[in-house]
């Protein structure tokens, strides 16, 4: 079983996590309503995904 010969310092241990950076979400234009949306998700504005209406908006007559 591998056992370290000596203790690693805190700075050496923390160097592993120093390169982590949060990235902004990729936004693309919705082909239906031309609003910005996240990739591979339903558009929050029009409810379309991959050219098909996935989310149907309620109207007053449907209530």
37 forms beta bridges with: 28
* pTM of the predicted model as reported, rounded to 2 decimal places: 0.54
The whole-number pLDDT of residue 11 equals 94
- The predicted pLDDT at position 20 comes to 83
pLDDT for position 53: 87
Query: Could you tell me if residue 47 is inside a domain?
Result: yes
In the three-class reduction of DSSP (H, G, I as helix; E, B as strand; rest coil), residue 10 is classed as helix
- In the block, tokens 């449907």 appear at 62
In a domain, 59, yes or no: no
pLDDT of the residue at 63? 60
User: Is 49 within 8 Å of 43 (Cβ atoms)?
Assistant: yes
Quote the domain boundaries for residue 41: 25-54
Domains in the chain, number: 1
Query: pLDDT for 22-40, tens place per residue?
Result: 888 899 999 999 999 999 9
- Of the pLDDT bands very low, low, confident and very high (cuts 50, 70, 90), residue 42 is very high
């Amino acid at each position: 079983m591998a056992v370290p010969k000596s203790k690693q310092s805190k700075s050496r241990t923390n160097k592993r996590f120093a390169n982590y950076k949060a990235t902004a979400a990729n936004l693309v234009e919705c082909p239906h309503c031309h609003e910005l949306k996240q990739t591979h998700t339903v558009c929050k504005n029009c409810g379309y995904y991959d050219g098909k209406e996935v989310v149907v908006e309620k109207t007053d007559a449907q209530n």
